[in-house]
Chains A and B, each alone.
Chain A
């Protein structure tokens, strides 16, 4: 009896123990990474080949004031004032931003993509509203950051940061102004010390370039972005890494270089990519004329296809004729025996899906409210770049190579999708149920596969020892679309090849850019 009497108490104790064992705390993978401390400061990066700049001197940076004049001493004293009583929040922002400027702005960009990656809800009459860049906060908010939009956003921000840093490195070497802690050794230094000249500040360059482009890409999030810029610059003062004039020159340079990319973006034809009813109808009739069954939207009410003219957008790594030449041959005819077999294969994977396959489908799904497949490859790349201790300029170069490849992969993929206008498996066989959301555009070729093929090609060049791992990931990402029931095998396999071909243009560039 006694034993039984105590059992409720024993039980409650066990519950309490279980609860203390259960931590609610969830941390981001990059919360606790160390401050960036590059193995190589890449002092000659001012000679690397920019993407759009004609020369690193295209936007002149004025010579800094001497470190002996009263104005500079005043700037040193500003740092000392910040450092006099550091709050927990100030220590937090130093820790956060010192992990790497390019890394943090890449994470912020992925966050904005995920926030805005939501398809608009239909109007009462069954049509769909389109986001309006001039009224970004009205529903549906601008932008709908779907995969092509996101691929383009990552490319512009990364390439602008890279060009701006190439220019910054040129002037760093030219003016050779030492970091404030080298001028005044009584300063506290809250980050690893470096021999890299501090004028103009690479952190401010990265922040300025990112913010300027994000005004165009995410016009409704200006407050959020500006707050990050201010926090980033403040962290550098508090850390003793830069004086105010380092930051001001850097931010200005970043913005000026970014403006050149903004001008390119305004004219790259992405603004017209949504098309209109005439375009949508033409795509359908062209497909019927070729004797094939055209794609139809599987959404209810039927939604116009996602950015059907994105295939016409201006590429970064090759010209428009090359883009068309990268388009693969046709998919199996919708009436062919091969298509029938491919359809049966899709059904076989989805009828009684294996848990391990669902895990792959969901790991790679990168669907609505995520940073999209290019964002996922940025995440994969960033995790490896952190291990490599790249300098900021090399971080930017490598992400620019990756993201120009991803944007061009999106362009070639979208060109192919709308050229062939091939139906999804569930359109041909409605008994095929999918393990992830059905994308609202034609099937052939798989975007995930081209994005992954291109990413694996350039990342395998940047970090050769990881090449087999990247290729295995790309293969898994591609096949996950087959397992998920939204693509045929041909979409995935041809997509991987096309992606690799696109990625090789980035590799070619990487071999000759001086980096």
Chain B
């Protein structure tokens, strides 16, 4: 159960993940304060492994011997392009594969959702001894394949088209920084393969109303041109939804809440500053109708410079 909100999970993951991308200035994810320079394109593959054995059935924490450990692997491609140094465009595409270690249920796999973000930094100014940056980030995501949403906890995602609006503030003083963001996620209804379903009442339709979500993210640590090392706390809540009833299966429109804490590290290779390596992990410390998952991931990113200056330089070379 609760492979949950994979989609959003992934999104956070990226953030976590994508922490990254070194570059002339450093780079990117939709939820960190790093921006790509104009015409720079940071792109890279990533891998993550997430698993849980215990989950919350409503507020009751339990295990399920007929599922055992549920694991999710993700292979993704992410990128960030600097339209200007104040405006970046980001994308991510994951392939997801799930598995249950016990019982008879079949794991699923497939291409999940395409996420696109525009990240805008309208304000950057000196405040005290440090620098304050304010961001507005808008995103959309939608399924790239006809994958199954209604087979939790082994679905690869929830299929809901979503749009997100995020406000973010970042303060850096010397090599230390802190970033706080709040995100509202609007979620469209989804269609499932059956013609009726029971939540807290019967629904005679194949459409499912999905509750919107709210995410809070706080990250702080060390950040310079070579290293980023940060601790991250994240709170995801659906605004609505219902609890899994006793010994029932989870459902896409469940109330799904999770509090996760984690760390991320990024390192820029000194001899090849276009390349950076990223890794990290997080674990779920509290939740509702979701698995108590622990996630580790790794990635590397390469920065390509498409600026006229770079092209000229290339020609000259």
Contacts and interface: CB of A to CB of B under 8 A. Distances in A.
B247 to A, nearest CB: 4
A434 B195 contact: no
Interface string B60-77: 000001100000000000
B115 to A, nearest CB: 13
Nearest to B165: A15
B222 interface: no
Given A118-B245, A379-B195, A432-B104, A26 B201 contact: no
B249 A368 contact: yes
Contact of A300 (B66, B87, B194, B246): B66
A465 interface: no
B136 A358 contact: no
A355 interface: yes
A379 B202 CA distance: 12
A362 B151 contact: yes
A7 B195 contact: no
Contact of A370 (B105, B194, B209): B194
A358 B151 CA distance: 10
Interface stretch (B28-36, B185-193, B256-264): B185-193
Contacts of B84: 1, 4
A435 interface: yes
A362 B105 contact: no
B87 to A, nearest CB: 6
Given A298-B104, A363-B195, A27 B205 contact: yes
A124 interface: no
Nearest to A114: B198
Interface string A28-48: 111000000000000000000
Contacts of B193: 358-359, 362-363
A145 to B, nearest CB: 11
A29 B202 CA distance: 12
A432 B106 CA distance: 8
A18 B248 contact: no
B103 interface: yes
A107 B209 contact: no
Contacts of A19: 163, 186
A245 interface: no
Nearest to A112: B202
A29 B205 contact: yes
A301 B118 contact: no
A107 B138 contact: no
Contacts of B120: 8
User: Is chain B's interface secondary structure helix, strand, loop, or mixed overall?
Assistant: loop
Interface string B139-168: 010000011101100000000010101000
Nearest to B162: A22
A433 interface: yes
A176 B218 CA distance: 76
Nearest to B204: A28
A5 B120 CA distance: 10
Given A107-B204, A355-B146, A433-B104, A369 B189 contact: no
A433 B189 contact: no
The size class of the interface chain B forms with chain A is 35 or more
A497 B207 CA distance: 34
B40 to A, nearest CB: 15
A378 to B, nearest CB: 11
Interface in A364-399: 365-366, 368-371, 376, 379
User: Is chain A's interface secondary structure helix, strand, loop, or mixed overall?
Assistant: loop
Interface in A425-444: 426, 432-435, 437-438
B182 interface: no
A432 B205 CA distance: 31
Contacts of A1: 84
B95 interface: no
Contacts of A298: 103-104
B205 A8 contact: no
A119 B247 CA distance: 7
Nearest to B142: A18
A379 B138 contact: no
B65 A301 contact: yes
A358 B189 CA distance: 21
Contacts of B203: 26, 28
B106 A435 contact: yes
B65 A300 contact: yes
Contacts of A140: 246
B38 to A, nearest CB: 9
Contacts of B107: 433
A135 to B, nearest CB: 16
B114 interface: no
B83 interface: yes
Given A19-B186, A118-B246, A369-B248, A7 B83 contact: yes
A416 interface: no
A369 B246 CA distance: 11
Contacts of B197: 114, 369-370
A362 B163 contact: no
Contacts of B208: 26
Given A15-B165, A114-B198, A24 B205 contact: no
A24 B188 contact: yes
Nearest to B199: A369
Nearest to B148: A358
Interface in B82-121: 83-84, 87, 102-107, 118, 120
A121 B105 CA distance: 18
A26 B210 CA distance: 10
A27 B209 CA distance: 10
Which 8 interchain pairs have the tightest Cβ spacing? Answer: A111-B202, A433-B106, A362-B193, A114-B198, A300-B65, A22-B188, A28-B204, A121-B247
9 contacts: A8-B136, A15-B138, A28-B203, A110-B196, A111-B201, A301-B65, A379-B195, A437-B105, A438-B104
